[in-house]
């Protein structure tokens, strides 16, 4: 009988996670004998989960909020990229070693790879996702990376750690950047839906070419941030490709095979209806 590998996602809450349906669909597509489960954990259960993963030899896992940082000391090794971001979103085995990787950078870069690279980008927000965005922009060779955050101290700390500049949250529209990237949850389905982290009527981008507004939020696909950016003449990029890209990289790590980007995006659009 064929051995079925067991994968899953850990986090809390997991109610709206698309990962189980996406990964189960992807395994089925390539006739890979595996299932993908959702394990909602309390903080006190995290260490026990890792012991269980080692004992049962679970094949791999996604890690999401709030465990992306706290999982790190429980692992044998993490990649240089996960180390520079300070967060892990993927668990996998290398021989007997339980390892951690961060695929958010691959996801973030995916829709940008074919675009002309500008000299400047402004990041809105200074949480976990912003860290992956900074590393991604660095890898793409963007020279001037600036960050604005509601809590100025957090922006300052991140700017120091990564040697980038800060912009005052209150003057963020006065900054002249080609790419404006939203890493806050503003615009997300629910109580944030009507909000945007940026007033494009004040956008000071006349001096820039290749103007792009990139929203990491993907539910809904068209946020207020992207709607306003389009009205102001910017090219827009929603967050679904990032989600697709980070998941495709996870599948590659686990199964050593590639997944079609367009089909994956189509599948996600279908299940979100
Ligand atoms: P996080 O660590 O909680 O950081 C959230 C950031 O947003 C903080 O800098 C926070 O500022 C800011 N923020 C929150 N509420 C705000 C408000 N009302 N006004 C202004 N700023 C506010 O979250 P995260 O992990 O970075 O995730 C952020 C977003 O990215 C989420 O919507 C998540 O779904 C999305 N995301 C998408 C993908 C993808 O694949 N597309 C991947 C990762 C994350 P303060 O410091 O002032 O609190």
pLDDT digits (tens, 9 = 90+) for 123-182: 999 998 999 999 999 999 999 999 999 999 999 999 999 999 999 999 999 988 999 999
* Low-confidence stretches of the chain (pLDDT beneath 50): none
| Catalytic-residue membership of 68 | yes
- The per-residue pLDDT for 108 is 98
Q: DSSP states of 116-155 as a string?
A: PP-SEEEEE--SHHHHHHHHHHHHHT-SEEEEE-SSHHHH
- The per-residue pLDDT for 224 is 98
- The per-residue pLDDT for 176 is 84
Establish how many alpha carbons lie within 13 A of residue 149's alpha carbon, considering only the half-sphere containing its beta carbon.
21
Supply the DSSP symbol for 86.
Answer: T
Q: Helix, strand, or coil here: 192? A: coil
- The per-residue pLDDT for 217 is 95
Distance CA 90, CA 76 (A): 13
Of the residues 28, 31, 37, 68, only one is catalytic, namely 68
Closest residue CA from atom 36 of ligand 1: 216
What kind and span of H or E run contains 180? Answer: strand 179-182
- The per-residue pLDDT for 45 is 98
Q: How many residues does the chain have?
A: 273
Go through 172-190 and write b for each residue having 16 or more CB atoms within 10 A of its CB, e for each that does not.
Answer: bbebebbbbbbbbbbbbee
- The per-residue pLDDT for 94 is 97
- The per-residue pLDDT for 175 is 86
Residues with CB under 6 A from ligand 1: 65, 104, 107, 125-130, 149-151, 154, 183-186, 188, 197, 216-218, 239, 242-243, 246
């Amino acid at each position: 009988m064929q051995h079925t590998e067991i994968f899953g996602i850990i986090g809390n809450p997991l109610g709206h996670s698309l990962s189980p349906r996406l990964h189960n669909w992807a395994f089925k597509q390539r006739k890979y004998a595996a299932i993908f489960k959702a394990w909602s954990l309390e903080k006190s259960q995290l260490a026990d989960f890792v012991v269980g993963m080692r004992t049962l030899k679970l094949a791999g896992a996604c890690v999401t909020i709030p465990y992306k940082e706290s999982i790190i000391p429980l692992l044998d090794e993490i990649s240089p990229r996960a180390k520079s971001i300070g967060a892990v979103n993927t668990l996998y085995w290398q021989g007997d070693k339980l390892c951690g990787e961060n695929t958010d950078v691959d996801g973030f870069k995916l829709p940008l790879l074919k675009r002309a690279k500008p000299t400047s980008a402004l990041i809105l927000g200074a949480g976990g996702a912003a860290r992956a965005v900074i590393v991604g922009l660095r890898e793409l060779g963007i020279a001037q990376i600036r960050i604005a955050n509601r809590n100025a101290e957090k922006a300052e700390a991140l700017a120091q750690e990564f040697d980038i500049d800060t912009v005052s949250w209150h003057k963020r529209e006065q900054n002249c950047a080609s790419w404006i990237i939203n890493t806050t949850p503003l615009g997300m389905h629910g109580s944030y839906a009507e909000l945007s982290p940026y007033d494009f009527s004040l956008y000071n981008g006349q001096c820039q070419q290749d103007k792009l507004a990139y929203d990491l939020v993907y539910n809904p696909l068209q946020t207020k941030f992207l709607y306003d950016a389009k009205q102001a003449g910017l090219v827009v990029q929603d967050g679904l490709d990032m989600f697709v890209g980070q998941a495709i990289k996870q599948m590659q790590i686990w199964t050593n095979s590639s997944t079609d980007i367009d089909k994956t995006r189509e599948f996600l659009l279908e299940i979100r209806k």
